[in-house]
Amino acid sequence: MYNNNPTLENIPKKVDETKQGEVFFKEGEAAPTKKFYIESYGCQMNFSDSEIVASILQESGYGPTRNIEESDLILINTCSIREKAEDTVRKRLRIFDKVKAKRPGTLVGVLGCMAERLKAKFLDEEKLVDMVVGPDAYRDLPKLIASADEGHKGVNVFLSREETYADISPLRLDSNGVSAFISITRGCNNMCSFCVVPYTRGRERSRNSFSIVAEAVDLYNRGYKEVTLLGQNVDSYTWENPETKEKVSFAQLLVMVAEVHPDLRVRFSTSHPKDINDEVLFAIRDYENICNYIHLPVQSGNSRILEKMNRTYDREWYIQKIDRIHELLPDCAISSDIITGFCSETEEEHKDTLSMIEYANYTMSYMFFYSERPGTLAAKKYEDDIPLAVKKRRLVEIVDAQRDASMASNLKDSNKTFKVLIEGDSKRSDQDFKGRNSQNKMIIFPKKDGLKKGDYVHVKVTNMTSATLLGEIVDNKEA
Ligand code: 5AD
Ligand code: SF4
């Protein structure tokens, strides 16, 4: 549990070098008697939420397992953002049902964004699950499990205006022991017309700044070297200290986390273009350990479509933002999310998105075709009138344009030397390490004796693909 008492004195500011190394179970704690298996889909926020769920379950005597066959509790943390994500969950639930048939007594629970939308369907019509738990109701899990054990189906999809799980210390699942997520806000107030998140995750709330810093300190003490501050819209973070009434902005929070230790890298995601301001850019400029990387989804490069999407900026305004970032932070990489084939999008308007990829020089993008979500503003107001074949063809063109932009950006890195945080062995060869530079680009390079994951090295880029840089370790940055 983190200290939630909002006074700076209570926060362990100094890191304790003797506490390095991962702790899975607390010392003196009995090995858990029951096991849970959890699968997560969707955004990083969902993966981060699964770690909160894991912590709550561990407190009530459940330990994690990667083997579904030996689990007493199977959980699936779901995503509703596109139809495809929902289809995947349905398929998995049918497989879980077969596991359950072989192992009677095993409970199955649906967590996350699909919970609210589809609770009745899951429990009554499909009869596949024992409990349905929304993103703000995870504290209720032990109670819901107990009642499901007695044969009562459990549901809690209540969306809270306060819940931030600030005091819960996440149990790091599938961790590389080097990078971790810290969730700083929950929900979203933005109402982009295509997006279901405000309905599935509720209103935006910011977490107590001190508990965020405490989590970063704790991670550093356990050997982690990189934290990513997570939220649907991190730049609108604002937390008021109830005692002093002082407000902490996102830029101030970034600095507080950066000051935990110069060797702890700080990243953040996602930034809405309307909310990222100069203060944030100055923090990136002034702190070497705040990474030179901004995920700044454009969604569309055309002003008419942006207006229909309710993004609150137009093409010119977004371009000015990009220019400002490049002016203040010449080495900063920018990435994006793009939706193609939104309601009524013309060929000309689609070309505006292609040209935006080129202008912004995105190092990478997450690219999707529009998928209508029930209940959203777009579903109510606009016709989903772009044929699937056209959406798919436009998506191919966007993916191609992004591949060219990524290659062009990687070519510019040729012969440059970067400080890289080693994340572990490369997927292809245990003779190579993989790691990232400040710009969030993955670099593969041959190992050298005495180095291990979590170390920083300088790597000179010698070759590349559009997805990855290849390089070799050099002695120092000037080499
Ligand atoms: N259809 C397609 N993509 C969507 N996204 C959000 N809603 C939809 C939708 N209805 C994308 C946006 C967002 C990312 C997380 O998912 O690009 O930034
Ligand atoms: Fe959805 Fe827009 Fe909020 Fe992102 S900012 S979660 S796209 S409503």
CB 279 within 8 A of CB 249: yes
What is the Å distance from ligand 2's center to 361 Cα?
Answer: 23
pLDDT tens digits for range 198-249: 999 999 999 999 999 999 999 999 999 999 999 999 999 999 999 999 999 9
**pLDDT tops 80 at residue 28:** no
Confidence tier at 118 by pLDDT (50, 70, 90): confident
Confidence tier at 476 by pLDDT (50, 70, 90): low
What is the Å distance from ligand 2's center to 57 Cα?
Answer: 29
Q: What is the pLDDT of residue 271?
A: 97
Confidence tier at 475 by pLDDT (50, 70, 90): confident
Mutation probe of ligand 1 site: the residue of 87, 232, 311, 337 with most atoms within 8 A of C-beta: 337
Confidence tier at 30 by pLDDT (50, 70, 90): low
Range 69-76 average pLDDT? 95
pLDDT tens digits for range 307-337: 999 999 999 999 999 999 999 999 999 999 9
Confidence tier at 31 by pLDDT (50, 70, 90): low
pLDDT tens digits for range 385-407: 999 999 999 999 999 999 999 99
Residue identifier of the C-alpha nearest atom 2 of ligand 2:
192
List the single range of 17-26, 57-66, 197-206, 460-469 with lowest mean pLDDT. Answer: 17-26
Q: Is the CB of 82 under 6 A from ligand 2?
A: no
Q: Is the CB of 371 under 6 A from ligand 1?
A: yes
| Nearest ligand, measured from the Cα of 272 | 2
Q: What is the pLDDT of residue 1?
A: 52
**Mean of the per-residue pLDDT values for the chain?**
91
Mutation probe of ligand 2 site: the residue of 191, 192, 299, 376 with most atoms within 8 A of C-beta: 192
| Nearest ligand, measured from the Cα of 185 | 2
Q: Is the CB of 188 under 6 A from ligand 2?
A: yes
CB 63 within 8 A of CB 90: no
Confidence tier at 7 by pLDDT (50, 70, 90): very low
Is the whole-model pTM more than 0.75? yes
**pLDDT tops 70 at residue 462:** yes
What is the Å distance from ligand 2's center to 346 Cα?
Answer: 23
Question: Rounded to 5 degrees, what are φ and ψ at 382?
Answer: -120, 155
Q: Is the CB of 378 under 6 A from ligand 2?
A: no
List the single range of 154-168, 434-448, 452-466 with lowest mean pLDDT. Answer: 154-168
Range 265-293 average pLDDT? 98
Domains annotated on the chain, with CATH? 30-156 (3.40.50.2300), 179-411 (3.80.30.20), 417-478 (2.40.50.140)
pLDDT tens digits for range 411-437: 999 999 999 999 999 999 999 999 999
Range 135-142 average pLDDT? 96
What is the Å distance from ligand 1's center to 196 Cα?
Answer: 9
CA distance 204 to 198: 8
pLDDT tens digits for range 340-390: 999 999 999 999 999 999 999 999 999 999 999 999 999 999 999 999 999
**pLDDT tops 70 at residue 2:** no
Percent of the chain with pLDDT over 70: 92
pLDDT tens digits for range 293-312: 999 999 999 999 999 999 99
Closest CA to 195 of 322, 303, 335, 42: 42
Question: β-strands 73-78, 34-40: how paired?
Answer: parallel
pLDDT tens digits for range 158-210: 999 999 999 999 999 988 999 999 999 999 999 999 999 999 999 999 999 99
Range 67-80 average pLDDT? 94
